[in-house]
Amino acid sequence: MSKQNVDSEIIKRAEQWLQPEFDKETREGVKKLIENSSTELVDAFYKDLEFGTGGLRGIMGPGTNRMNRYTLGKATQGLANYLLKEFKNLPEIRVAIACDSRNNSMPFALTTAEILTANGIWVYLFEALRPTPQLSFAIRTFKCQSGIVITASHNPKEYNGYKVYWNDGAQIVPPHDKNIIAEVNKISSVKDIKFEGDHNLIKVIGSEIDEIYLNTLASLSLSPELNLKHRNIKIVYTPIHGTGVDLVPRVLHKYGFATVVTIPEQNVVDGNFPTVKSPNPEEAAALQLALDKAQDIDADIVMGTDPDADRVGIGIKDNMGKFILLNGNQAAALLIYYVLTKWKEKKMLRGSEYIVKTIVTSDLLADIAKDFNVECREVLTGFKYIAEIIRELEGRKTFIAGGEESYGYLVGTFVRDKDAILACALFPEIVAWAKEQGKTLYQLLIEIYTKYGLYRERLISITKKGKEGADAIKVMMQTFRSTPPKSLAGSDVVVIHDYAQRQTHNLKESVIYPIKLPKSDVLQFITEDGTRISIRPSGTEPKIKFYFGVKSMINFPAEYEIANNKLDKKIDRIIEDLGIK
């Protein structure tokens, strides 16, 4: 790309970063981008980083569309301004801050603390890296008005991010997210950001909150006696170089499990994630070392958490003794089924309980809930919407558990975000519970499919990087809206849910009716045979995601393999019909 082809406004935006208020390293980096006049210059400056489903997230480096001291500073100053207005009647305003193992996470956390204290706001700063769910717990424990965690979750090493939480320990939702952005947009100059903090307003927190958090998680055990009876089940766990390295083994021991095997090379806290291409437990490659170890020692379960330990990938043995990875829907189904069964056994179900799932998560969860006479609420993609429901219904109904297909799960309300530390304790508990019945987790899953129907899901993510990629994704969404498929795998499309238009079109009855959920760029196609396809741009990555969900009935566990293969082939046909790879 030549300099003549770069939009003059982009060059103008970049040249503003050559001013003396920016540090030397930043100025030199921007100068190189301008001199090269590359696509990278456009990608770095064509827009400002925006809050998505996971907050502020982007590639690290200089630029308005990058994660750096100044974009983070602008967001923090905007947040500070909003907090000072929103809680002006409080004698003091408190914000908790945590960070994960990514490169620059601790410097970003310290910069955030400096800016907040410069605005007279008290900061509860973790002494070292901590999981995202523990940040949520700390907000509630220390009665903070807000919280921030520096993380890019499961993204590749080039990324970092900035998640903002409200006083209930949940990620921000409307109107606070939009109000904070409005305050951020009022900041016209780096000079408006107060970088010189007051260290007297920083309270460093550490081991004392760890023990409170772990004891709280231990109180959520539903089968402590079975855990002790089967304490020697073999658990293989990897933190994938992240924040779960200390707390997951500790919570497992609190649950009574004695045999926890970790992967030494992945216990090393390193933001370069040297043993994996991407620290994403949704990808089999990230768990391969753990799977190899599990096969070697004949383990009962494999677990791997992402860098900020809010997502967990699960591996279990099939009937041939070979380890396979569960998808997020399967893991959620096992968790929900187990928890509801135990609640029923303990006579804790009184008619006001509910679970929550997202619109792209398997309907199997709704079927399970219905069988237990438990309400299933459905929300937009993003765990913050699950937390929003918990807040809205608090005091009126009882939240039991929530899950989303992207490997995030929550039981109880002590934390208001997905919690992989807790999940890493509960899944081995389910192993112990199944073992007591003479079953494996694999056999339990097939038993669930036999009872409620065999659901088969698949996710395809297509990466489109930079400005050109963002434009391409917009075109893809526009194309699917303007020319939706008429049939998929031989079954007519009968319903289209368009969450951006907030309307459902029933093609069979020629009726359009409103969707009550907030606006979101998601399309869903439902066919006559119950197949569901969801399409959405990711809120945290340069990807467009396609979710496929098909279903059939099986009468006996022995029918599982053949039926499952048929459903896989059906998904292949749908993918071909949609023209995607």
Contact by Cβ (8 Å): 444, 334: yes
Is residue 446, in this structure, part of any structural domain at all? yes
Residue ending a domain, among 452, 467, 497, is 452
With respect to residue 60, please indicate whether it lies within any of the assigned structural domains.
Answer: no
Active site residue 153: yes
Q: 483 lies in a domain?
A: yes
Q: For residue 323, which of 355, 307, 301 has the smallest C-alpha distance?
A: 301
Collect the ranges in the chain with pLDDT lower than 70. Answer: 1-4, 37, 51-55
Q: What angle do CA 126, 128, 132 make, to 5 degrees?
A: 65
CATH number at residue 545: 3.30.310
Is residue 342, in this structure, part of any structural domain at all?
yes
Based on the domain organization, do 432 and 310 belong to the same domain? yes
Instruction: Choose one of 437, 452, 467: the last residue of a domain.
Output: 452
> Is residue 85 located within the same domain as residue 27?
no
Q: Are residues 230 and 250 in the same domain?
A: yes
Q: Which domain holds residue 503?
A: 454-578
Domain final residue, candidates 452, 478, 509:
452
> Is 475 found in the same domain as 431?
no
Gap between the Cα atoms of 568 and 375, Å rounded: 30
At residue 181, the pLDDT reads 85
Instruction: Kindly report the CATH number assigned to the domain that includes residue 185.
Output: 3.40.120.10
Residue closest to 185 by CA, chosen among 84, 16, 80, 48: 48
Between the alpha carbon of residue 105 and those of residues 98, 160, 183, 529, the distances in Å are 9, 7, 24, 48
Q: Examine residue 552 and state whether it is found in any structural domain, yes or no.
A: yes
Q: Domain check: are 440 and 461 in the same one? A: no
In this predicted structure, what is the pLDDT of residue 8?
86
How do residues 131-190 score in pLDDT, each as one tens digit? 999 999 999 999 999 999 999 999 999 999 999 999 999 999 989 988 998 899 899 899
> Quick one: pLDDT at residue 4?
55
The answer to whether 389 touches 375, Cβ cutoff 8 Å, is no
40/131 same-domain check: no
Complete DSSP assignment for 318-356: -TTS-EEEPPHHHHHHHHHHHHHHHHHHTT---S-EEEE
C-alpha distances (whole Å) from 218 to each of 228, 250, 423 are 13, 10, 11
φ/ψ bin of 93: left (φ > 0), alpha (ψ from -120 to 50), beta (otherwise): beta
Cβ neighbors of 455 (< 8 A, separation 6 or more) are: 329, 333, 362, 363, 364, 449, 549, 550, 551
Residue-wise pLDDT for 296-345, tens only, equals 999 999 999 999 999 999 999 999 999 999 999 999 999 999 999 999 99
Backbone φ and ψ of 319, nearest 5° = -70, -15
Judge if 464 and 488 occupy the same domain. Answer: yes
Residues 235 and 294 in one domain: yes
Determine the pLDDT at residue 151: 97
Please name which of 45, 97, 60 lies closest in space to residue 76, comparing C-alpha atoms.
Answer: 97
159 and 252 belong to one structural domain: no
Q: How far apart (Å, rounded) are the C-alpha atoms in residues 130 and 214?
A: 13
For 130-157, b/e burial (b = at least 16 CB within 10 A) is: bbbbbbbbbbbbbebbbbbbbbbbbbeb
Same domain for 507 and 573? Answer: yes
Separation of alpha carbons 481 and 478, rounded Å: 5
> Under DSSP, is residue 394 helix (H, G, I), strand (E, B) or coil?
coil
Q: What is the mean pLDDT of the chain?
A: 95
- Are 559 and 445 contained in the same domain? no
Q: Total domain count for the chain?
A: 4
pLDDT of residue 39: 85
Long-range contacts of 198-204 (CB under 8 A, 24+ apart): 198/117, 198/118, 198/120, 199/117, 200/117, 201/116, 201/117, 201/120, 201/121, 201/122, 201/123, 202/113, 202/117, 202/122, 202/123, 202/125, 203/122, 203/123, 203/124, 203/125, 204/125, 204/126, 204/127
Instruction: Please tell me the distance from the alpha carbon of residue 502 to that of residue 236, in angstroms, as a whole number.
Output: 44
Residues 466 and 496 in one domain: yes
Place of tokens 């606006």: 519
Catalytic residue among 101, 153, 520, 534: 153
Alpha-carbon separation of residue 500 from 403, 517, 521, 527 (angstroms): 23, 10, 5, 20
Is 553 within a domain?
A: yes
Residue 299 lies in a domain: yes
Q: 263 in a domain, yes or no?
A: yes
Q: Please report the pLDDT score of residue 1 as a whole number.
A: 43
**Tokens, residue 100:** 């994960």
Closest CA relative to residue 541, chosen from 361, 337, 381, 392 = 381
